Amino acid sequence: MKSILLFIYGSMFLFSNINARNSEITIEDLIKNQFALYPKMEARDLYKFLHQAAMGSEHAVRDTTAVKVWMKNEIAELDTTIPNELIEQLSPDGNLVRVNLRPYITAGDKPEELLKAFVSTANDFSGSKETLSGYISAAKKLIARKEISVDENIFSSLTNELERSGFPAIHHSLTYEKLYKPAYRVIDRKYLMIKK
């Protein structure tokens, strides 16, 4: 029981430091935090997290009407029984975050504001494939040291194939989708306006 409590408090301490935009946070810390939040993450989910941390949103937004409809439909179908933190830090510098829709909407924040922040991030943020490659190397070291539970061969094979394809964005695994029903937007904090 004591070890479980220590793990929970340790995770809470790490997450509170991450939310504070601590400049000492590393990509390794952020990866481990994701596994504390979503222990059934698979190789695809880890790559997706790293891709978002380095590249931001998946692509520029040219049709704002389509993303508005997408968000409206997603909000209408939200499973509110799943708990999420409001903000999950993606990049070590604290600039890129995932804003989870469930707590965002519950807090009474306006979807239109988040939509604007998402579109601005998608259109203005310049990602770095070199940074992504470095993040993948860091993740491989964590896997080799068994600090996170991902199959080493599957992750290496997946990331090698995706590197040859120019590091495209990919979807979450079916397991992740089923268990966690992800509903978030990748946002640059400078565009973010949230009630406190």
The residue among 194 and 69 whose pLDDT is bigger is 69
Output the pTM of the full model: 0.85
pLDDT in tens, 103-135: 999 988 899 999 999 999 999 998 999 999 999
Percentage of the chain beyond pLDDT 70 is 86
Residue 91 pLDDT grade (very low, low, confident, very high; cuts 50, 70, 90): very high
Structure confidence at residue 23 (pLDDT): 57
**95 inside domain:** yes
Closest CA to 71 of 17, 33, 13, 111: 111
Contact 125, 189 (CB under 8 A): no
147-171 in b/e form (b: 16+ CB < 10 A) is ebebeeeebeebbeebeeeebeeee
**178 inside domain:** yes
**196 inside domain:** no
Conformation bin of residue 14: beta by default, left when phi > 0, alpha when psi is -120 to 50: alpha
Structure confidence at residue 195 (pLDDT): 56
pLDDT at 30 over 50: yes
Domain count, the chain: 1
**146 inside domain:** yes
**39 inside domain:** yes
Average pLDDT over residues 70-87: 91
Cα 40 to Cα 177: distance, rounded to the nearest angstrom: 10
3-state SS string for 15-80: HHHHHCCCCCCCHHHHHHHHHHHCCCCCHHHHHHHHHHHHHCCCCCCCCHHHHHHHHHHHHHCCCC
Residue 151 phi, psi dihedral angles, 5° rounding: -65, 120
Structure confidence at residue 64 (pLDDT): 84
Residue 56 phi, psi dihedral angles, 5° rounding: 75, -145
Q: 90: Cβ–Cβ under 8 A, 6 or more apart, which residues?
A: 30, 49, 52, 53, 96, 97, 98, 186
Cα 125 to Cα 111: distance, rounded to the nearest angstrom: 21
Structural domain including 176 reads 2-191
**32 inside domain:** yes
Task: Output the average pLDDT for the chain.
Answer: 88
